[in-house]
Amino acid sequence: MEKVSGDRYTINVYPCLFQIKKGYMRTYLDCIPCFFRQALDMTRITGVDEATQKKVLNEVSKLIPNFPLDASPPKMGREIYRIVKRITDINDPFKKIKQKSNKLVLDIYPRLKKEIRSSDDSFLTATELAIAGNVIDYGVKNSLDIDREIEKILAKDFAGSGNGSNHNFDYQEFRDTLNNAGSVLYLGDNTGEIVFDKLLIEELNNMFPNIKITYVVRDKPVINDALMEDAINCGLDKIVNVISSGCDAPGTILDICSKEFLNLYKNAEMVISKGQGNFETLADESRPIFFLFKVKCPVIANHTGFNLGDIVLKRM
């Protein structure tokens, strides 16, 4: 893993934010209010009373003075989740939400499958839908929200008629790299979204039958991220090799990943990385990684130069 020198973080981020188009996704000061917002949202999901919610925020406050800005935001995400678990004494607060998210998308799986198979470019449609699936977080309450996102995405010509003209969307390079790849490591993100990944992997299996694909889930419950049980529940284990990253953060922090994962990671000819959390933890890696995500926060928008709400398929 490339070591990121500290001096690039001594800048005053506010005026310079827009100039940093690429790099390791450090924590920005703007992430700090958001950490508290996330901690509060997570805690409320558990249904504990206000006094307990306040205790969680108090514990998060205590972390701030010692949290280094050169750590990636998912490192704090991991700490916050641990605090929520400890203070509320609930091991997997998002369990029901995760099950519901999976079910929501499994229910529309036949429709999505038909959409892909009837498309002029099935692989493109499956890729677009896989990114659309990244919109599913624990705020998504019903299939209407998902339908709305799918419609929006399918209505746009992200790939620039397949010639890769859209600056957020390296579709042609994505296909070319797959054409030459023997192995692909596919880093999953959220529950629900995992069913969209399944659809893309089915197309990958069709188009590139010789590629050995490994799908990666988080090791332990963290927010609404997909685990091995979700992969099995959604049938991914039937079509692809599924492993855990060994990491219990909402991202892929290489320092705490398992040896098994790191071995595959080092040797994979191509990595497909879903979601902001994986991007934040791997953005600076020199491996051939294609990041597929929706830009959901202004800090990532500023860091990458993409716009808030953009759909991204990008080799960084």
Residues that bind a second copy (CB under 8 A): 9-14, 29-30, 32-34, 36-37, 40, 44, 49-51, 53-54, 57-58, 61-62, 64-65, 69
| Residue 116 vs 299, nearer CB to a second copy | 299
User: In the complex, what is the shortest distance from the CB of residue 157 to a second copy, in angstroms, rounded to a whole number?
Assistant: 34
User: In the complex, what is the shortest distance from the CB of residue 225 to a second copy, in angstroms, rounded to a whole number?
Assistant: 22
Give me the residues paired with residue 34 across strands. none
Q: Tokens 């919610």 belong to which residue? A: 53
Which one, of 153, 244, 143, lies nearest residue 195 by Cα?
Answer: 143
Q: Which residues of 182-191 are buried (b: 16+ CB within 10 A; e: fewer)?
A: eebbbbbbbb
Q: Who's near 255: CB < 8 A, 6+ residues apart? A: 1
User: In the complex, what is the shortest distance from the CB of residue 40 to a second copy, in angstroms, rounded to a whole number?
Assistant: 6
User: In the complex, what is the shortest distance from the CB of residue 65 to a second copy, in angstroms, rounded to a whole number?
Assistant: 4
User: In the complex, what is the shortest distance from the CB of residue 33 to a second copy, in angstroms, rounded to a whole number?
Assistant: 4
| Residue 1 vs 11, nearer CB to a second copy | 11
User: In the complex, what is the shortest distance from the CB of residue 147 to a second copy, in angstroms, rounded to a whole number?
Assistant: 27
| Residue 48 vs 271, nearer CB to a second copy | 48
| Residue 58 vs 206, nearer CB to a second copy | 58
Instruction: Give start and end residues of each alpha helix (H) in the chain.
Output: 13-16, 31-46, 50-63, 73-88, 95-117, 122-132, 143-155, 171-179, 193-207, 228-233, 259-267, 275-282, 298-304
Q: β-strand 270-274 against 212-217: which pairing, if any?
A: unpaired
| Residue 14 vs 167, nearer CB to a second copy | 14
User: In the complex, what is the shortest distance from the CB of residue 79 to a second copy, in angstroms, rounded to a whole number?
Assistant: 14
Joined together, the tokens standing for residue 148 give 């709305």
Joined together, the tokens standing for residue 251 give 């991202």
Say if residue 314 is exposed, middle or buried (CB neighbours under 10 Å; 0-12, 13-18, 19+): buried
| Residue 8 vs 148, nearer CB to a second copy | 8
| Residue 40 vs 239, nearer CB to a second copy | 40
User: Which sign, positive or negative, has the C-alpha torsion 36, 39, 44, 48?
Assistant: negative
